[in-house]
């Protein structure tokens, strides 16, 4: 699996439709300070489902939408798509190519797509779980991240290792199963109460 293409429109400094084509191997992005290099990493993080504005270097989610300049009006929405080559089936779907898209409107409405089909944020999280590319995975090492990993508590540091070991999806399923069990237990108690009342 490798990242083939990034399509951005209206995201941070990318007011115009911008297509970044990548090839296997190492790609470097160079440019003057403030030209938008880190905004590319933010765009990748965002489309993978990042919900924390702090991690996107903003103060509110609207900050990811192009805010306008001396020459241009602000845009009302932004959209980012990542296209991944999946010939090796690293992602657990049958497609050779997978495109994930996130779109947000200034009104706050948010949309997600996998291969142009509307989906939920949960589907995006599940698609990337244990692939190293998820929202909290280790594929994006931001400025200060290494220092953070070295200084935080061992429990906090475990996340990336669990993702690399491929156990995140099992932990996630266990949490879901536990929630369903709790709900079922609560329903049973209610049924017992109703039966007791009827007797
Ligand atoms: P450096 O080399 O200093 O780290 P960089 O190339 O990584 O810089 P970025 O941090 O990616 O630059 O981009 C910063 C630029 O993005 C700033 O000029 C900022 O005004 C612009 N920017 C950020 N958010 C928005 C937005 N919502 N609308 C318009 N421009 C934005």
Q: Would the pLDDT of 3 be above 90? A: yes
Question: From ligand 1's centre to the CA of 35, what distance in Å?
Answer: 6
Q: What is the pLDDT of residue 54?
A: 77
Q: What is the pLDDT of residue 82?
A: 96
- CATH (residue range 2-166): 3.40.50.300
State which ligand 1 atom lies nearest to the alpha carbon of 65. Answer: 27
Percent of the chain with pLDDT over 70: 96
Is there an atom of ligand 1 within 6 Å of 35 CB?
A: yes
Please give the Cα distance from 132 to 166 (Å, whole number): 9
Is there an atom of ligand 1 within 6 Å of 67 CB?
A: yes
Question: From ligand 1's centre to the CA of 101, what distance in Å?
Answer: 21
Q: Where are the domains of the chain?
A: 2-166, 167-199
State which ligand 1 atom lies nearest to the alpha carbon of 69. Answer: 29
Mean pLDDT of 79-92: 94
Cα–Cα distance list, 122 to 67, 98, 126, 177 (Å):
28, 16, 6, 16
Question: From ligand 1's centre to the CA of 158, what distance in Å?
Answer: 31
What was the ipTM of the complex prediction?
A: 0.94
Nearest to 101 by CA among 15, 28, 11: 11
Sorted by sequence, the CB contacts under 8 Å of residue 111 that are 6+ apart come out as 101, 102, 103, 104, 118
Q: Is 36 assigned a ligand-binding role in the annotation?
A: yes
Q: Is 35 assigned a ligand-binding role in the annotation?
A: yes
Summarize pLDDT for 26-62 with one digit per residue, the tens: 999 999 999 999 999 999 989 988 877 777 888 888 8
To the nearest whole number, what is the mean pLDDT of the chain?
89
Residues forming beta bridges with residue 82, ordered by sequence position: 6, 100
Summarize pLDDT for 128-151 with one digit per residue, the tens: 887 878 766 667 887 767 777 787
Question: From ligand 1's centre to the CA of 39, what distance in Å?
Answer: 6
Mean pLDDT of 93-108: 94
Is there an atom of ligand 1 within 6 Å of 11 CB?
A: no
State which ligand 1 atom lies nearest to the alpha carbon of 42. Answer: 11
Percent of the chain with pLDDT over 90: 61
Confidence of residue 170 (pLDDT cuts 50, 70, 90): confident
Rounded to two decimals, the pTM is 0.80
Mean pLDDT of 57-86: 92
Is there an atom of ligand 1 within 6 Å of 139 CB?
A: no
């Amino acid at each position: 699996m490798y990242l083939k293409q990034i399509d951005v429109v209206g995201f941070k400094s990318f007011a115009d439709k911008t297509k970044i084509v990548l090839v296997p191997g190492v790609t470097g992005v160079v440019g003057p300070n403030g030209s938008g290099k880190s905004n590319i990493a933010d765009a990748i993080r965002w489309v993978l489902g990042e919900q924390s504005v702090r991690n996107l270097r903003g103060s509110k989610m609207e900050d990811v939408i192009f805010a306008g300049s001396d020459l241009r009006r602000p845009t009302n929405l932004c959209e980012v798509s990542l296209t991944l080559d999946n010939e090796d089936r690293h992602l657990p779907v049958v497609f050779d190519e997978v495109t994930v898209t996130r779109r947000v409107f200034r009104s706050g409405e948010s949309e997600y797509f996998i291969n142009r089909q509307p989906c939920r944020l949960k589907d995006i999280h599940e698609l990337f779980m244990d692939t190293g590319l998820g929202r909290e995975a280790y594929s994006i090492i931001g400025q200060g991240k290494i220092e953070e990993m070295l200084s935080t508590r061992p429990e906090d540091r475990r996340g990336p290792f669990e993702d690399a070991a491929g156990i995140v999806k099992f932990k996630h399923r266990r949490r879901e199963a536990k929630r369903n069990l709790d709900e079922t237990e609560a329903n049973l108690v209610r049924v017992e109460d109703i039966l007791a009342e009827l007797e």
